[in-house]
Chain A
């Protein structure tokens, strides 16, 4: 029997170790299943909304479009649907998708009064955070690793076998033991993930990237566990110390970091810009029409000369007024986005030193479910809004009837292409952390083997 196989039998004969591995496998499977269910629910919601939307648009078309149809009314009543279906890998790392709207209706009125609307979600259910594969990996896998490794050295010492083990010929005892445990943990994480990825039709590269991040994150924990396990004498002390090492970077520092980031980078500009936009739009009714058209022509010179109309109201003026409202607050909008991006950037920086946060960043970037994905959806909404209003302008400025044929031409939103990417910097930081702790752990374990005696000492 090969030494490796002997180790495997030894490892799995222990009820506790077997239990820990099976538990991890079950939790990972449950998390993958839960992620798939949640993302399917989001897809089903999108389909449901699309069906309702089709009926709604048909009603607007019947009521508003026709030989005497006015573009202004159509643009006012035809809310257009934008949707952000979950990317294939979202099941593994749901991220902010439970909070950020993935459907939003937009019309050609001022964008800034529409794009920050929230969707309906149950805040109390969102409060504890999502249950997905990423959660199992970041929070639970380290505890399983601790359960498997905390007494690798100390148990031998406590059983009085350490000296004997060390005196045996052959090398690589700890490497075999660690490697075996590492392989088991990774398998318990990977099998459900890969199954889920196949079901979801996820890209191979992305799945591989997520698995790579997971492998590095686990390697970091194995390194840390070796380091502590070899440094301490009693199993219970080692376990307690390792769990202490788990609490600080997974529970304490992230919450401190979040409080610090939120305090240092306020995001009040969102409210400011909304209030400012309302003032501009409503002031438009009380000022001469030229004062609305002039700023509008700055970015829309093609309509200069077509602004004249009789009477008090014309749709072209109304929509120009809304557009000017948006343009007036452009700086606030940029500042608001800047604040949110800065919060995200500092989270990435924190991830460079905290492997848990780093792994979270890498996975959600690969799955395209992080803030960056939210910004991309927002940007695609803004781009679509521009297409939409520019589609209506010719009808309004040329006083052209809006027929059913024209209604059919209203541009439709096309969902953005999922833009998952590999954040190289975070991954390298993760790699360095894993390598450093594996090296430290290995060094400590080798010292146990060569120098210390195995005299049991109570502590």
Chain B
């Protein structure tokens, strides 16, 4: 066996004798399994709940009696966001975004009942998912297992002994890297098996699972390699431990919390209230359909009359008020879309600032990669909002057209159209977005993780040269 292999084997043996290390590793594996199990169970429950709710509100919509279509515009439709299959592995921002929206005419309601708003402060400690265990806790375990890998040999004098026996520092370094790299992958293995099993049953696609496994493998390797390098560079084990814990603290805990403050200070979001008020003002500026002298709506009326080739509103074959509703919905929806776009651009600017720091704190990279592949990232939430908004516009306009076209034929004081028409109104069918729709959300974090690994490899070469010099 090569000396690299021997050194690695020796390291594994030493770690197997370390009872605290074994216990911690066992606990971590247990935690991954518990997290997978509870999170999977939770996902199934949420999915069932939302399916049940969606089915029941869809049925209720069908069961509404004969009505004026405008009443149905305000009866509206509730939509529930189905949960992505891999969201059990990484809940991402899912708990922080609302998962149900009430859709009605000329209003854009907020997505409500986010889990975070229904939880106590305890939730801010983190959510138990395999992603949390791998992102936050596993690096700590790797630090504990690896911090003394080379410094221990130095402190005991065995490093010199090896050098005297003709083992090059490079080989020591490679052996330790091999040992701890394998350990990192072994620690990730239970989670990878869960992911693989999930993909094997067809519940998630391999296309999402494999890069996820790759990303986490890179993330774990990164910590193992970092630990070995620092253990080679610093003189005392406890200094290695202090520096590694410090790096973990800053990169995994501190920066992710502190950066949002900077992002929020630089780019502020408008409140929904301001958006609402601005919308009303903009609509009022366009025109007032009730004002007989309003230029915009006079123009609109003239266009309608020309289109139907009639002289007055009374001669129209359709209900004019219905056409005004269609026009009004078109106008408000456009303004809402602009506001949503502005808001989204600001949130993107905020998040971009945080993402830039993934160069310093690769946690941000693995978090983004993982959320995106799991379909629980902010972009997936936006996609849901866009789908609901498109759906809302469509069904509201269908009802408005029913009003314009059917009401004139009914007349009377309380004109209602048959409940059968509600069947013609489409129901919301969510199209889960593919994480590969936005390649930059995947390429950048992947590049950052690989870049870190590459940089650490260079550092490892430098560290082994330095070790060599020091041993001579």
| Chain A contact residues, CB within 8 Å of chain B | 16, 27, 30, 34, 37-38, 41, 45, 48-49, 52-53, 55-56, 59, 79, 81, 95-96, 99-100, 103-105, 113, 116-131, 135, 139-140, 143, 147, 151, 235-236, 239-241, 243-244, 247, 250-252, 254-259, 261-263, 267-268, 270-271, 274-275, 278-279, 282, 285-286, 312, 339-340, 343-344, 346-347, 350, 357, 360-361, 364, 370-371, 458
**CB neighbors of A among B228-250 (8 A):** 236-238, 241-242, 245, 249
B257 A129 Cβ-Cβ under 8 A: yes
For this complex, 22 residue pairs linking A to B, each with C-beta atoms less than 8 Å apart, are: A48-B271, A52-B277, A59-B280, A95-B121, A96-B121, A99-B116, A116-B112, A120-B110, A120-B275, A123-B114, A124-B354, A131-B254, A239-B242, A259-B39, A259-B127, A267-B118, A271-B113, A279-B60, A282-B74, A286-B67, A343-B119, A347-B122
Chain A residues near B393 (CB-CB < 8 A): none
B121 A370 Cβ-Cβ under 8 A: yes
Centre residue among B42, B97, B112, B120 by max chain A CB count within 10 A: B120
B117 A99 Cβ-Cβ under 8 A: yes
A123 B124 Cβ-Cβ under 8 A: no
A125 B350 Cβ-Cβ under 8 A: yes
| Chain B contact residues, CB within 8 Å of chain A | 20, 24, 31, 34, 38-39, 41-42, 49, 53, 56-57, 60, 64-65, 67, 71, 74-76, 78, 92-93, 96-98, 100, 102, 109-128, 132, 136-137, 140, 144, 147-148, 156, 236-238, 241-242, 245, 249, 253-254, 256-258, 260-261, 263-265, 268-278, 280-281, 284, 343, 347, 350-351, 354, 377-378, 381, 413-414
The answer to whether A100 and B117 touch (CB under 8 A), given A255-B127, A258-B125, A282-B71, is yes
Q: Nearest-CB distance from A21 to chain B (Å)?
A: 14
Assembled-state Cα–Cα distance A436/B156 (Å): 38
A34 B117 Cβ-Cβ under 8 A: no
Assembled-state Cα–Cα distance A99/B115 (Å): 11
Assembled-state Cα–Cα distance A252/B138 (Å): 12
Chain A residues near B119 (CB-CB < 8 A): 258, 261-262, 343
Among B92, B148, B238, which residue has its beta carbon within 8 angstroms of that of A151?
Answer: B238
Assembled-state Cα–Cα distance A135/B253 (Å): 10
Among A127, A257, A278, which residue has its beta carbon within 8 angstroms of that of B75?
Answer: A278
Chain A residues near B74 (CB-CB < 8 A): 282
The answer to whether A120 and B343 touch (CB under 8 A), given A55-B277, A259-B42, is yes
Chain B residues near A120 (CB-CB < 8 A): 110, 269-272, 275, 343
The answer to whether A261 and B122 touch (CB under 8 A), given A52-B274, A103-B273, A255-B127, is yes
The answer to whether A16 and B242 touch (CB under 8 A), given A127-B96, A236-B237, A255-B127, is yes
Chain B residues near A259 (CB-CB < 8 A): 38-39, 42, 127-128
Chain B residues near A100 (CB-CB < 8 A): 117
Assembled-state Cα–Cα distance A228/B280 (Å): 64
Chain A residues near B125 (CB-CB < 8 A): 129, 250-251, 254-255, 258, 357
Among B124, B276, B377, which residue has its beta carbon within 8 angstroms of that of A129?
Answer: B124
> Which 5 residue pairs across A and B have the least CB separation, nearest first?
A254-B125, A125-B260, A347-B120, A123-B96, A128-B256
Among A37, A131, A257, A347, which residue has its beta carbon within 8 angstroms of that of B257?
Answer: A131
Chain A residues near B242 (CB-CB < 8 A): 16, 147, 239
B269 A371 Cβ-Cβ under 8 A: no
Assembled-state Cα–Cα distance A27/B114 (Å): 31
Tally of A-B Cβ pairs under 8 angstroms: 248
Assembled-state Cα–Cα distance A123/B65 (Å): 39
Q: Residue of B at shortest CB range from A30?
A: B258
The answer to whether A125 and B128 touch (CB under 8 A), given A53-B277, A118-B117, A252-B137, is no
Q: Nearest-CB distance from A312 to chain B (Å)?
A: 6
Q: Residue of A at shortest CB range from B110?
A: A118
Centre residue among A119, A236, A261 by max chain B CB count within 10 A: A236
Assembled-state Cα–Cα distance A256/B65 (Å): 48
Q: Is the interface of A mostly helix, strand, loop or mixed?
A: helix
Chain B residues near A257 (CB-CB < 8 A): 122
Q: Residue of A at shortest CB range from B378?
A: A124
Q: Nearest-CB distance from B445 to chain A (Å)?
A: 13
Q: Residue of A at shortest CB range from B267?
A: A122
A140 B126 Cβ-Cβ under 8 A: no
Centre residue among A119, A124, A252 by max chain B CB count within 10 A: A124
Q: Nearest-CB distance from B263 to chain A (Å)?
A: 6
B118 A270 Cβ-Cβ under 8 A: yes
Q: Nearest-CB distance from B316 to chain A (Å)?
A: 24
Assembled-state Cα–Cα distance A422/B16 (Å): 49
Chain B residues near A268 (CB-CB < 8 A): 49
* Other 14 A-B pairs with CB < 8 A, given A37-B261, A259-B39, A347-B122: A118-B98, A119-B273, A120-B271, A122-B263, A125-B263, A129-B126, A236-B237, A251-B137, A254-B122, A255-B127, A262-B42, A262-B119, A262-B123, A267-B115
Q: Residue of B at shortest CB range from A96?
A: B121
B273 A52 Cβ-Cβ under 8 A: yes
Assembled-state Cα–Cα distance A286/B98 (Å): 32
A124 B93 Cβ-Cβ under 8 A: yes
Q: Is the interface of B mostly helix, strand, loop or mixed?
A: helix
Assembled-state Cα–Cα distance A254/B120 (Å): 11
B261 A34 Cβ-Cβ under 8 A: yes
Assembled-state Cα–Cα distance A279/B113 (Å): 19
A121 B238 Cβ-Cβ under 8 A: no
Chain A residues near B249 (CB-CB < 8 A): 140, 143
Assembled-state Cα–Cα distance A361/B42 (Å): 26
Q: Residue of A at shortest CB range from B52?
A: A268
A243 B60 Cβ-Cβ under 8 A: no
Assembled-state Cα–Cα distance A143/B31 (Å): 23
B96 A370 Cβ-Cβ under 8 A: no
Q: Nearest-CB distance from B141 to chain A (Å)?
A: 9
Q: Residue of B at shortest CB range from A114?
A: B109
B122 A236 Cβ-Cβ under 8 A: no
Assembled-state Cα–Cα distance A95/B120 (Å): 9
Assembled-state Cα–Cα distance A38/B265 (Å): 8
Assembled-state Cα–Cα distance A236/B270 (Å): 50
Chain A residues near B121 (CB-CB < 8 A): 95-96, 347, 360-361, 364, 370-371
Among B39, B132, B245, which residue has its beta carbon within 8 angstroms of that of A243?
Answer: B245
Centre residue among B111, B116, B124, B242 by max chain A CB count within 10 A: B124
Assembled-state Cα–Cα distance A116/B284 (Å): 28
Assembled-state Cα–Cα distance A334/B64 (Å): 28
The answer to whether A312 and B117 touch (CB under 8 A), given A235-B238, A247-B140, is no
Among B126, B258, B275, which residue has its beta carbon within 8 angstroms of that of A251?
Answer: B126
B126 A118 Cβ-Cβ under 8 A: no
Assembled-state Cα–Cα distance A119/B343 (Å): 12
Assembled-state Cα–Cα distance A118/B111 (Å): 7
A130 B280 Cβ-Cβ under 8 A: no
B272 A286 Cβ-Cβ under 8 A: no
The answer to whether A53 and B260 touch (CB under 8 A), given A285-B67, A357-B122, is no
A275 B57 Cβ-Cβ under 8 A: yes
Among A104, A240, A251, A370, which residue has its beta carbon within 8 angstroms of that of B144?
Answer: A240
Chain A residues near B241 (CB-CB < 8 A): 236, 239-240
Q: Residue of A at shortest CB range from B137?
A: A251
The answer to whether A258 and B128 touch (CB under 8 A), given A38-B261, A116-B113, A236-B237, is yes
Q: Nearest-CB distance from A146 to chain B (Å)?
A: 9
B122 A126 Cβ-Cβ under 8 A: no
Assembled-state Cα–Cα distance A53/B38 (Å): 45
B128 A123 Cβ-Cβ under 8 A: no
Assembled-state Cα–Cα distance A240/B145 (Å): 10
Q: Nearest-CB distance from B94 to chain A (Å)?
A: 9
Q: Residue of B at shortest CB range from A285?
A: B71
The answer to whether A236 and B38 touch (CB under 8 A), given A117-B109, A120-B271, is no
